[in-house]
Amino acid sequence: MEPRAIPSDGLAFRKMHGAGNDFVILDSRGMAAVCTPALARAVGDRHRGVGFDQLAEIRNGTDTDIILDFWNSDGSRAGACGNATRCVAAEWMAETGRDAVTIRTTRGVLRGEMRGEAVWVNMGAPVLDWRVIPLARDVELLHLPIAGDPVAVGMGNPHAVFFVDDIATVDVAARGAEVEHNPLYPQATNVEFVEVRSRDEVRMRVWERGTGITLACGSGACAVAVAAHQRGLTERHIRMEVDGGWLELDWCEDGVWMTGPVARVFDARLTPEFLDGL
């Protein structure tokens, strides 16, 4: 393995967000990967570091244009991060002048495309096998034996999707923290609460494992699109209001496509003093 190499003058990063779901982006192309659990925790601290919902590290691809690794703010690895994938895809296409990009993640190979002014990312096919999501045992995925009757979907991360009559009455922090570590989910789970407004529009709030409440969640939005259609509540193409704005989802034969806003906030550098000992 290549040695971890942090430049002597500190570590450059970019802050971005997609519908309020915010990220620190590290670009490790041309060098060894630098992120560790300790670094992710330190940078993710919103008081003593930078703060993020997820950290994404870009590496050189071999069979794809780039590789993306994802970290949560508690130092754990994330299996997928749809909004960060879309933000990185937008930056890469602007940088190269191309209108498509292939990205390898632990989720598999994902594809990003420019369609007019919008950046769409294919987050892959949903995982509908209890062993792969993973769950602790074989249960009916459309009606989990958890209070509230959620749906289980895998989108690189495990998800538990609850449909509610009035999302304003849901204590997302309390219920999300409780369900995150339900014994049925051996690797914990993201938790989504959804109010269906029509056949093509829903409202979603989310609790992300390893992070907490976030303003949006790309893999969670994809899981909701799948769960809602499976329950017969929506069509395959929907608009979704999240705490941070709007996303658009389209569950196609080749996977769940997602689009939404992309914003670059600032470029900065972590100081050598901050990085010392991490």
Query: Which are the catalytic amino acids?
Result: 81, 217
**CA 69, CA 21: separation in Å to the nearest integer?**
17
Concatenating the DSSP letter of every residue in 173-221 gives HHHHHHHHT-TT-TT--EEEEEEEEETTEEEEEEEETTTEEES--HHHH
Are the C-beta atoms of residues 127 and 91 closer than 8 Å to each other?
Answer: no
Question: Tokens standing for 24?
Answer: 């620190």
Residue whose tokens read 């994330």: 78
Q: Give ∠ CA 106-49-31 in degrees, rounded to 5.
A: 45
Closest to 33 measured CA to CA, from 72, 65, 60, 64: 60
